[in-house]
Structure 1
Amino acid sequence: MRGGIGRIIVYTGNGQGKTTASLGIALRSIAHNKKVVVIQFM
């Protein structure tokens, strides 16, 4: 198993656009053959 640099991106705050932005980043990463995990707290 080779190590790599992971990334954690947290979107917080009131208003709109957080889910859209996070899913957009996730889909772009998947398109580049990266592993993606999405966790949402409500």
Structure 2
Amino acid sequence: MALEDKGLVYVYTGDGKGKTTAALGLCLTALGQGRAVAFIQFLKGSS
């Protein structure tokens, strides 16, 4: 089964900065290569 058929999931976790930037950079790279991209971000609540 080819990579295009299976897909990939990347999960960035941890303290500190740079996770969103890294994920967006990877998304832009994939889009530039003509791949389909979904970006999902979970945010902390106010409580």
User: What TM-score do you get using the length of structure 2 for normalisation?
Assistant: 0.81
- 1:1-40 maps to which residues of 2 (within 5 A)? 4-40=5-41
SS at match of 1:4: helix
Tell me which structure has the larger Cα radius of gyration. Answer: 2
Q: CA deviation at 1:5?
A: 2.0
Post-superposition offset of 1:23 = 0.1
Greater share of residues in helix? 2
Give unmatched runs, 5+ long, in structure 1: none
For normalisation by structure 1, the TM-score amounts to 0.90
How many residues of Structure 1 are paired with residues of Structure 2 in the alignment? 40
Q: Which runs of 4+ in 1 moved over 4 A?
A: none
Superposition RMSD in Å: 1.1
Letter in 1 for 2:8: R
